[in-house]
A and B are shown apart, each in its own frame.
Chain A
Amino acid sequence: MIDHGATERRILKTELRWAVFVGFLVLMILGAIVYAGISMHINPPSNREFIDPKTLHLSGEFTEANLGTSVDTDGQVTTRVIATQFSFVPQCVVVPANRTVTLRFASPDVIHGILVSGTNVNTMVVPGYVSQVHTEFTRTGDLLMPCHEYCGFGHSQMLATVRVVPPEQFRPGPDGKVTCG
Chain B
Amino acid sequence: MNVGDPIEQSALDRRWRLWASAAVGGILVVGAVIGMLVLPNFQRENAALDLWTAICRAVGITEGSPAYRQPITTAQALPVSQVAWDPDVLDILANANPQQGAQIAAQVCVACHGENGVSSVLEYPSLAGQSSAAIYKQLSDYRSGARVHELMTPYAAQLTVPQLASVSVYYGRFAQQATGLGGRDLPGDDYIVKLAREGDSARALPACDSCHVPGAGGPIETPVLTGQNLQYLAAQLRAYKTGDRQNDVYRRMRDISEKLTEQEIDGLARYYRGVLF
Q: Give chain A nearest CB distance to B13 CB in angstroms.
A: 11
Judge whether B58 and A159 touch: CB under 8 Å.
Answer: no
Chain B, 239-257, contact with A by CB distance < 8 Å: what is the 0/1 string? Answer: 0000000000111100110
Contact residue among B35, B60, B81 (Cβ-Cβ distance under 8 Å from A48)? B60
User: For the complex, is A82 an interface residue (Cβ under 8 Å from B)?
Assistant: yes
Q: Give chain A nearest CB distance to B217 CB in angstroms.
A: 5
Question: Interface residues of B: mostly helix, strand, loop or mixed?
Answer: loop
Q: Give chain A nearest CB distance to B65 CB in angstroms.
A: 6
- Residue count of chain A within 8 Å CB distance of chain B: 56
Q: Give chain A nearest CB distance to B205 CB in angstroms.
A: 6
With A47-B63, A85-B218, A85-B219 as contacts: A54 and B34 at CB distance below 8 Å: no
Contact residue among B59, B61, B250 (Cβ-Cβ distance under 8 Å from A84)? B250
Contact residue among A34, A63, A66, A157 (Cβ-Cβ distance under 8 Å from B199)? A157
Contact partners of B69 in chain A: CB under 8 A? 74, 76
Judge whether A37 and B252 touch: CB under 8 Å.
Answer: no
- Taking residues whose C-beta sits less than 8 angstroms from the other chain, chain B's interface range is 35 or more
Q: How far is the CA of A49 from the CA of B63 in the complex (A)?
A: 5
Judge whether B204 and A157 touch: CB under 8 Å.
Answer: yes
Contact partners of A91 in chain B: CB under 8 A? 204, 255
Taking CB as reference atom, which chain A residue is nearest B199? A157
Taking CB as reference atom, which chain A residue is nearest B72? A72
User: For the complex, is A58 an interface residue (Cβ under 8 Å from B)?
Assistant: yes
Q: How far is the CA of A156 from the CA of B207 in the complex (A)?
A: 10
Scan residues 23-71 of chain B and give those whose CB is less than 8 A from a CB of chain A: 23, 27, 30-31, 34-35, 38-40, 42-43, 46, 57-69, 71
Contact partners of A99 in chain B: CB under 8 A? none
Rank and list the top 4 A-B pairs by shortest CB-CB distance, nearest first. Answer: A154-B206, A153-B210, A154-B210, A41-B67
